[in-house]
Structure 1
Amino acid sequence: MSQPARSPRATAASDAPESTAVTRAAAQRLKMRRELAAAAMELFATKGYEGTTVDEIAGAAGVARRTFFRHFRSKEEAIFPDHDDTLVRAEAVLNAAPSHEHPLDTVCRGIKEVMKMYAAKPAVSVARYKLTREVPALREAEIASVARYERLFTRYLLGHFDERDSHVGNDDPLLAEVAASAVVTAHNHVLRRWLRADGKGDVENQLDHAFAIVRETFGTGTGIGTGIGTGRTAGTEPAKSEAPPAASVTADGEVLVAVARTDAPLDEVMRTIQQALKER
Structure 2
Amino acid sequence: MPQPAKPARATARTSTRTSASSQRLKLRRELAAAAMELFATQGYEETTVDEIAAAAGVARRTFFRHFRSKEEAIFPDHDDTLERARAVLEAAPAHENPLDTVCRGIKEVMRMYAASPPVSVERYRLTRQVPALREREIASVARYERLFTRYLLGHFDEAAHRDGDDDPLLAEVAASAVVTAHNHVLRRWLRAGGQGDVEAQLDRAFAIVRRTFGTGFGASRPGAVGAPRGEAAVAAAEGDVLVTVARTDTPLPQIMRTIERALRPG
Shorter-chain TM band? 0.7 to 0.9
Give the deviation of 1:134 after TM superposition.
0.3
1:218 and 1:193 map into 2 onto residues whose CA distance is 23
Correspondences of 1:23-34 after superposition (within 5 Å): 23-34=18-29
Matches within 5 A, 1:248-263: none
* Counterpart for residue 71 of structure 2: 76
Distance 2:223 2:117 in 1: 36
CA separation in 2, counterparts of 1:137 and 1:231?
42
Is there any run of 5+ residues in structure 2 with no aligned partner, and where? 232-266
**1:229-240 maps to which residues of 2 (within 5 A)?**
229-233=218-222
Unaligned runs of 5+ in 1: 1-7, 242-280
One-letter amino acid matched to 2:117: P
Determine helix, strand or coil for the equivalent of 2:165. coil
Name 2:146's counterpart in structure 1. Answer: 151
Corresponding residue SS for 1:73? coil
- Indicate which of 50, 54, 60 corresponds to 2:49: 54
- RMSD, matched Cα: 2.3
User: How far apart are 1:98 and its partner, in Å?
Assistant: 0.9
Structure 1 residues 238 and 183: alpha-carbon distance in aligned structure 2, compared to 1, 3 A threshold: same
Q: 2:166 aligns with which of 171, 174, 191?
A: 171
Q: 1:10 to 1:234 in 2, by over 3 A?
A: closer
Q: Using a 3 Å threshold, how does the CA distance of structure 1 residues 50 and 16 change in structure 2: closer, same or farther?
A: same
Number of residue pairs the alignment of both structures matches: 226
Structure 1 residue 12, shift from structure 2 partner: 3.6
Distance 1:238 1:101, change over 3 A: closer
Distance 1:234 1:122, change over 3 A: farther
Shift of 1:10: 7.1
Sequence identity (%): 77
The corresponding residue for 1:121 is 116
Supply the distance in 2 between the matched residues of 1:177 and 1:73 (Cα, whole angstroms): 29
- The C-alpha deviation readout for 1:27-74, integer Å capped at 9, x for no partner, is 110000000000000000111000000000000000000000000000
Superposed displacement of residue 20, structure 1: 1.0
**What is the match of residue 271 of structure 1?**
none
TM-score, length-normalised on structure 2? 0.80
Please give the alpha-carbon distance, in whole angstroms, between the structure 2 residues aligned to 1:11 and 1:205: 40
For residue 195 of structure 1, report the CA deviation from its aligned partner.
Answer: 0.3
Q: Displacement of 1:205 after TM fit? A: 1.2
Structure 1 stretches of at least 4 aligned residues deviating more than 4 Å after TM superposition: 8-11, 233-241
Q: Secondary structure at the match of 1:161?
A: coil
Change (3 A) 1:134 1:169: same
Contact 2:81 2:109 (8 Å CA) reproduced: yes
Aligned AA (1:54):
V
Instruction: Work out the CA distance in 2 between the residues paired with 1:86 and 1:210.
Output: 21
